[in-house]
Structure 1
């Protein structure tokens, strides 16, 4: 019975069938009107009567039925059209109101599927947009890090001070993985010194020492000679807990620094946000470690070259490295032979002010002239050197303090006499002198040098 009713119902029929039925019903109205006219004006004349009211009621019923059928067809189309406009404006939350078995139902299903696809596509676009944003951020981070690496390379190639180069390297390491701390530790005999650190607890940890032989995370890296990664996957122990407490970090990467095949120190980064470092972060810290290694090797090589060079290029006197070694040798010889050995330092007063007033070229000519006067006033076994920018040093074997004082006083008088004739007061050179002797003022080179420095400072 239910299937029969469903077959007889218009709701299961298509639009074409419904429109055909509505057309038939609407066509009945003019037919009935025609019957009415015929039955009223024409048939009575021949004696045939008809029920006029019945015809009118039937006409109205047929017309209303056709109207509702048409309305049933048109309303869903208008509704779908309105929803299509909403979708065009970006409102994709369309939900089909009722399930229909005709073309309108198919159209609503298609529209529903279309909106679902649009929603999925929009979600995909949002996802791709977020991924693109993250990729752009990562590219920007790598560009910044690359710029930092180039800056460090520039420092190394220009022969910048090793401490400045190391500090710059550590500062730039902070950019790896948005780290909260970056640090550099150098091995000094049995100690591991925090040479440079930026970020969390930097003031507290700078110059702190750790025992290279004790049970700590740095000693472990030195012993294992490989990069260590600290994260939540690493089981906690006393060594790790101590590191996390002292450095206030949850995750870290610590890499050893090799110089000429030996472990020279450690470089590391860390954060306190439980952010595990990725493989590309490991590669970046390896690059920084290589640059730090190059900087340290260059500094060692430069110091070695300086030790091999014994003469000052400007004055022709010995350099400070040579005179220190020579002083040490002469003191040892004096101790064996039980003879005195004196050490003199002459310092030019207000040398920096002189350079600022008259330029480096004029200042260099003064240094050359003073060097010539010193060389002409020392013996064959005596050695003179340019000790610093504005200081000269003389080692006097077989001379006691009184003899050295007389020699120093004579040199100062000659130099000040030459420059005392300058008409410009600012060009008049004056010197300060200091003398020390072995064994009165010390038994090694360091003692005699510190003694003359204290005298000059006082």
Structure 2
């Protein structure tokens, strides 16, 4: 109580300098009193001995007051120092409680304000750090996505087989969104129906054993049938209300969530890409939805390219190595010649020729030598037929000749002439393996078949039997 009283009595000033002056003055007064007691001649007040006790008490009182004043100055400074050390150690939750209106109070207030600013800055830095970390994670994620898309693009650019591209794209589905199942629904080129073409993931084998590939997909019927017509990416997650169609879809594939992306190109619908999982409370991020859409577009490009390549192959009529007509053109031309022969009541023969022991030659002398032989044989065929006849490379080392208007007897002469020329061409070779011969068979419409497919099928069977019997002959 005394401490508070003296504080109110002497330290009402707002300036620390005033407090120090008061403390210093009191100490000086105490010293003067003490000196007066030691040297009584200085002042008459100190001469009587009766004032001895009073002088001592006054001096003691003055010293106590000065000490209290100094203590009021020193204690807050020590407190501020200790708090400052704790703040410097990183404890930014500390706050200096200083109910003073002098310079020490202002110092405490300034330290508190500085601590708050530091804490705010640290909080802001932590916030930015978390944002930066989140951005880095997203950047890394997008890099992985881009790498996956580039991998599929490289396969397409390299003209890889369609099945390889489709498998790679389906596998990529499992790398995003914690998906565990990838499904490809494609349009069958023969029937035009949409069917499940490929499954990948931990449940793929089980689903295939359950016969999921045999389940029909009808346009406009069920979730998948409607998804084909909508041609938009469909997300089935926690945010999508359940329905009978969704429940049936989830039950069918054994999943709880899915992304269904249409495989389309220039208005043509080729199928659907489906990715799913069984995660509770799953929400598909917009980025993941975008990724599956891009994968579906890449699949569409691959399917479209494959269709174009097949169309080009159909349009090509010649073999790039020999210059003869190719298999596709020969089948089509034979069909046309048979129709023409039927209308005009004329015969039409088909000759199929194969080189004997050509596989052995290929293994012994290599690919380049084998191609050279095929070119020579093609030249012999061109020289051996009339302008109305058509010669073709029908297989690896098989050749065919369409002979419009010629019956089997006339065709035998042409075929045997070809056989002899081939035999004569390689007769003088020193290595017995280079002495190539050929075997040929002849079929005639309508005796051996009324369609091109029937003549070709019968020719293939007859050729195999003839070569098995020794070769270097013409059979019919």
Query: TM-score, normalised to structure 2's length?
Result: 0.75
CA contact (8 A) 2:423 2:437 kept: yes
Change (3 A) 1:171 1:343: farther
- Secondary structure class of the residue paired with 1:91: coil
Change (3 A) 1:38 1:269: same
More displaced stretch, 179-188 vs 24-33: 179-188
Q: Distance in 2 between matches of 1:204 and 1:416?
A: 58
Q: CA RMSD of the aligned region, Å?
A: 4.5
Residue number in structure 1 paired with 2:225: 219
Residue number in structure 1 paired with 2:38: 37
Q: Distance in 2 between matches of 1:366 and 1:158?
A: 30
CA contact (8 A) 2:239 2:283 kept: no
Q: Deviations over 1:132-191 (max 9, x none)?
A: 122223223333433444444444444443333444444445555565444432122463
More displaced stretch, 64-73 vs 42-51: 42-51
Residue number in structure 2 paired with 1:195: 197
1:344 to 342, 349, 352: 352
- Secondary structure class of the residue paired with 1:211: coil
* Pair 1:80 & 2:80 matched: yes
* Pair 1:257 & 2:263 matched: yes
More displaced stretch, 80-89 vs 340-349: 340-349
Aligned length: 453
CA contact (8 A) 2:152 2:169 kept: yes
Q: Distance in 1 between matches of 2:27 and 2:442?
A: 132
Query: TM-score, normalised to structure 1's length?
Result: 0.77
1:228 to 234, 243, 249: 234
Residue number in structure 2 paired with 1:301: 308
Q: Distance in 2 between matches of 1:55 and 1:434?
A: 150
Residue number in structure 2 paired with 1:121: 121
**5+ residue gaps, structure 2:** 469-476
Change (3 A) 1:445 1:143: farther
Q: CA deviation at 1:395?
A: 5.1
Residue number in structure 2 paired with 1:364: 371
Q: CA deviation at 1:329?
A: 4.7
Q: Distance in 1 between matches of 2:405 and 2:144?
A: 62
1:314 to 311, 316, 321: 321
CA contact (8 A) 1:257 1:266 kept: yes
1:108-147 map, 5 Å: 108-147=108-147
Q: Distance in 2 between matches of 1:134 and 1:449?
A: 66
**5+ residue gaps, structure 1:** none
